[in-house]
Structure 1
Amino acid sequence: MSFKPLFSRALGLAPKRLHFAAHSHHLWPDASFDAHERAWLEANEHADRKWDLIFGEVVPTAQAEVAKELNLPSPDSVVFSPNTHDFLIRLHSGVERRPVRILSTDGEFHSFRRQGERWEEAGQAVIQRIAAKPFGDFADRFIAAAKAGDHDIILISQVFFRTGRTFDRMAELAALARPEGPWVVIDGYHGFMAQPTDLSDVADRVFYLAGGYKYAMSGEGAGFLHAPPGFCPRPVVTGWFAEFGDLSGPPGGVQYRADGGRFWGATSDFTALYRFNGVRRMLAEAELTTADVSAHAHGLMQTFQQAVGDGLAGRLAEAVLLNPFNGDPARARFLAFRHPDAADWKARLMKADIVTDVRDDVVRFGFGLYQDADDVERLIKACAQAL
């Protein structure tokens, strides 16, 4: 089945292009265009009063959609920011001990990697990084380190952005979390709306970071944080939006909301939340769940994986497939192939108007709702010719 009509605008702008980087920069559906236009119209129609609309309708709708997707007990635990890096800064600021002791991995995304290295340079953090390779015993090694260490923050990806490998032992980390530390932070950017994610059993113990740029199909600017009650109640880095609501704090001191709103920043462009709400509304109207979208992508992924294995996709057969699809719905929505020529392959495919992406020596092919079986057949033939 083809869902291309939902993406007619994006696909129509480059009709010859094959975009197989849905995991990196997902194309936007038509519903996001309509929502983007609505944001402009309502901002100018309501002018100074637009904030009543944004915080009375747009934000609560987005909170409810995130809570529904993650099966959270309350939408009030969800707060938004232009990017997830903002929340990393606020979480770090809320730890009273210096340097902050952090447990993480050597496979985290650049927003944490770079910031963590700079914190170390400045003496503001000590970071223990568990090697992601070999992945066979990674989870055991990471949990053992979490149990043994005196950490303030434990941060790990739900799905690793380079390899597509999945960490599926959140509950064991959540059992270690305490309001006084450690705080468990899950980077869910490659998991949110890529695979069904149910946080109901751990929502009272873990932070969860994600956003709209990838599988939520909403573009940049829609980062969010789920914040468990009682954890990091007073981040030092704080914006004036956190002054609104039911506040608590020391007499005469800075007051904070008790819900996720304690992590609010300051004035932002909320157009991304219009897009996010529009996309969620589109999916509901089409009766498509994350499981449905994933099943569609996995079918395409399986076809491509089989073709590579059969030698029909050129030199890709020489590469090591790091995350083969085995029918498990809890997985990344991309295939990651490791080979010394990965960067050259990506460049060759780009010349053929086929978009993939490379991380070090790994070329990744992402699959999504705007592709169909014919696109995969074209991709297989193009790989055979270009590689």
Structure 2
Amino acid sequence: MAARKDLFSRALSLDPERLHFAAHSHHLWPDASFDGQVRAWVEANQFADRKWDLIFGEIVPEAQGHVARELNLPSPDSVVFAPNTHELLLRIVSGLERRPARILSTDGEFHSFRRQSQRWEEAGEAVVTRVPLQPFDTFGERLVEAARAGQDGGGFDLIVVSQVFFRTGQLFDRIGDLAALADPAGPWVILDGYHGFMATPTDLSAVADRIFYVAGGYKYAMSGEGVCFLHAPPGFCPRPTITGWFAEFGDLEGPPGGVQYRTDGGRFWGATFDSSALYRFNGVRRTLDEAGLTTAVVADHARGLMQQFQDAIAAGDAGRLAGAELINPVVDGSARARFLAFRHPDAQAWRAQLLAANVVADVRDDTIRFGFGLYQDEADVKRLAEVCQRVL
């Protein structure tokens, strides 16, 4: 398929000469998101005091439906929204009864969990076992073995792992094995899908009754901040301790005289939030649906661009990138991240040199990342290689 720059005319017009190859980090927003933002303002003032009836009667259900269809969930009622995934993580962990909680995770999780889990350890609220990502060819087996071994040693309360690792772009493919261990009494399993949702086709139908899944709109959903979500399996964490007042509307249950909770995913609702992000998300999803731009179609387009860039590097047409370690090369048609990650001691300097040339990439420690999406075409990739050849 051809690039769909027409869907991003507003964002691209703001800096026409920029090459934005950080679609994995801060994705540019389609025009439909602007229209959604305007609609949010208009309806907030048109409906005023009746706004929340509209939001929970129409806007939230539409957004839940988009998420459920994308992930092949059995019901949209398992989906709840929050301004960020950190809030959702805190609500889940608040429902764990044992302190210190025993948590199994990895050394490659995103900073929100990395920082929070370290602080829990400092405060004596958690004991965290972290399985190293490298060497990655044995990572999946090592993580599953650790999870199974934990069952024999008193058990883990929580297992947290990424679907796609944010620094390296490598994919975890053993979620079914972790789901088989999940139990309402523990462990609970959280799959961080932020780099998987709308980046690669994701079907959770086989594990939706066993795992939590968190993701958001900042990246491949192209909707910006504020539209993060949680899929919550039924029966897991029925009464999170950290809870907002929106969780007390709907079908409720709880002890007599105690705090009541919704019985669906809404038990994880927080409190008053800015709903404009949901309007943006719905607008983007409607546009993609109307254009027939499924995640599989977009991922295939990005894969072609990544292959083009990878070939240019191999041919020596992209400067010193040829001397970097490509951590997640395009090798076949299997599921993959929507970015290429290169490890090199000069990664930080390279990113600064590219930025000075009006090329946006992203760097994490010693790894520079290039993300690909709908608003890029083959000519953009050719220009990217030429700039790399010139400035690196």
TM-score (norm 2): 0.98
- 1:382 is the counterpart of 2:387: yes
- 1:156 is the counterpart of 2:157: no
1:180 to 172, 175, 185: 185
> How is 1:93-172 mapped onto 2 (pairs within 5 angstroms)?
93-149=94-150, 150-172=155-177
- 1:334 is the counterpart of 2:335: no
Cα offsets for 1:190-240 (capped at 9, x unmatched): 000000000000000000000000000000000100000000000000000
Q: Secondary structure of the residue that 1:155 maps to in structure 2?
A: strand
Q: Secondary structure of the residue that 1:59 maps to in structure 2?
A: helix
Match of 1:194 in 2: 199
Match of 1:10 in 2: 11
Matches of 1:100 and 1:311 in 2, distance apart? 51
> How is 1:206-245 mapped onto 2 (pairs within 5 angstroms)?
206-245=211-250
Cα offsets for 1:133-170 (capped at 9, x unmatched): 11010001000000011100000000000000000111
Point out 4+ residue stretches in structure 1 off by more than 4 angstroms: none
Which stretch of structure 1 is more off in the superposition, 329-338 or 241-250?
329-338
Q: CA deviation at 1:329?
A: 3.8
Matches of 1:104 and 1:309 in 2, distance apart? 35
Match of 1:87 in 2: 88
In the alignment, residue 163 of structure 2 is paired with which amino acid? Q
> How is 1:29-44 mapped onto 2 (pairs within 5 angstroms)?
29-44=30-45
Matches of 2:125 and 2:54 in 1, distance apart? 40
| Preserved contact between residue 210 and residue 224 of structure 1 (Cα < 8 Å) | yes
In the alignment, residue 66 of structure 1 is paired with which amino acid? V
| Preserved contact between residue 183 and residue 231 of structure 1 (Cα < 8 Å) | yes
Match of 1:281 in 2: 286
| Preserved contact between residue 294 and residue 329 of structure 1 (Cα < 8 Å) | no
Matches of 1:69 and 1:2 in 2, distance apart? 22
| Preserved contact between residue 103 and residue 153 of structure 1 (Cα < 8 Å) | yes
Matches of 1:285 and 1:10 in 2, distance apart? 20
In the alignment, residue 370 of structure 2 is paired with which amino acid? F
1:363 to 346, 364, 368: 368
Matches of 2:333 and 2:280 in 1, distance apart? 30
In the alignment, residue 26 of structure 1 is paired with which amino acid? H
Q: Secondary structure of the residue that 2:65 maps to in structure 1?
A: helix
Matches of 2:12 and 2:198 in 1, distance apart? 21
In the alignment, structure 1 segments of 5+ residues that lack a partner are none
Matches of 2:174 and 2:280 in 1, distance apart? 32
Match of 2:359 in 1: 354
- 1:203 is the counterpart of 2:204: no
| Preserved contact between residue 153 and residue 181 of structure 1 (Cα < 8 Å) | yes
In the alignment, structure 2 segments of 5+ residues that lack a partner are none
| Percent identity of equivalent pairs | 71
Match of 1:255 in 2: 260
| Preserved contact between residue 120 and residue 127 of structure 1 (Cα < 8 Å) | yes
Matches of 2:111 and 2:147 in 1, distance apart? 22
Matches of 1:329 and 1:143 in 2, distance apart? 22
Which stretch of structure 1 is more off in the superposition, 10-19 or 325-334?
325-334
Q: Secondary structure of the residue that 1:127 maps to in structure 2?
A: strand
Matches of 1:327 and 1:292 in 2, distance apart? 16
Matches of 2:291 and 2:63 in 1, distance apart? 18
Cα offsets for 1:293-316 (capped at 9, x unmatched): 000111000000011111110000
Q: CA deviation at 1:328?
A: 3.1
Q: CA deviation at 1:61?
A: 0.2
TM-score (norm 1): 1.00
Number of residue equivalences = 387
Q: CA deviation at 1:2?
A: 2.3
> How is 1:7-86 mapped onto 2 (pairs within 5 angstroms)?
7-86=8-87
Matches of 2:149 and 2:99 in 1, distance apart? 20
What RMSD over aligned residues (CA atoms) do the two structures have, in Å?
A: 0.5
